[in-house]
């Protein structure tokens, strides 16, 4: 009796499972959640988390990062305005000449 060859099996992608480009997307998302999640999750927890929960947390982390970015821009603009006011030469008021 011969061992079955690979030609006897259907090894193509089935409906369930990831395409190679989906796997990259998944692992990029997991990495971003771990990196920007400030240590809230580990890889195993996120990988096994139900998709609807993972999507919810992805949106939440994205919103937090956007708020941080907006806050940092406001602080930078305020500091810039403060510096520009300081750098303007002040003209001392002189009494009018007679």
- Rounded CA-CA distance 69/91 in Å is 37
Is pTM, for the whole model, over 0.85? no
Summarize pLDDT for 21-62 with one digit per residue, the tens: 788 888 888 898 888 888 888 989 998 999 899 999 989 988
Alpha carbon 85 to its chain centroid, in Å, reads 35
pLDDT number for residue 13: 58
Structure tokens at 14: 């089935």
Residue 7 has pLDDT above 60, yes or no: no
Model confidence at 96: pLDDT above 90: no
Q: In terms of DSSP H, where are the helices of the chain?
A: 20-36, 43-48, 51-87
Q: How far apart are the first and last CA of the chain?
A: 122
């Amino acid at each position: 009796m011969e061992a079955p060859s690979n030609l006897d099996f259907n090894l193509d992608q089935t409906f369930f499972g990831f395409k190679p480009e989906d796997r990259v997307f998944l692992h990029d998302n997991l990495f971003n959640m771990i990196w920007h999640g400030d240590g809230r999750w580990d890889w195993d927890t996120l990988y096994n988390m139900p998709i609807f929960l993972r999507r919810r947390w992805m949106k939440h982390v994205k919103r937090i990062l956007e708020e941080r970015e907006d806050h940092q821009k406001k602080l930078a603009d305020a500091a810039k305005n403060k510096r520009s006011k300081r750098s303007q030469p002040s003209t001392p008021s002189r009494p009018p000449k007679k």
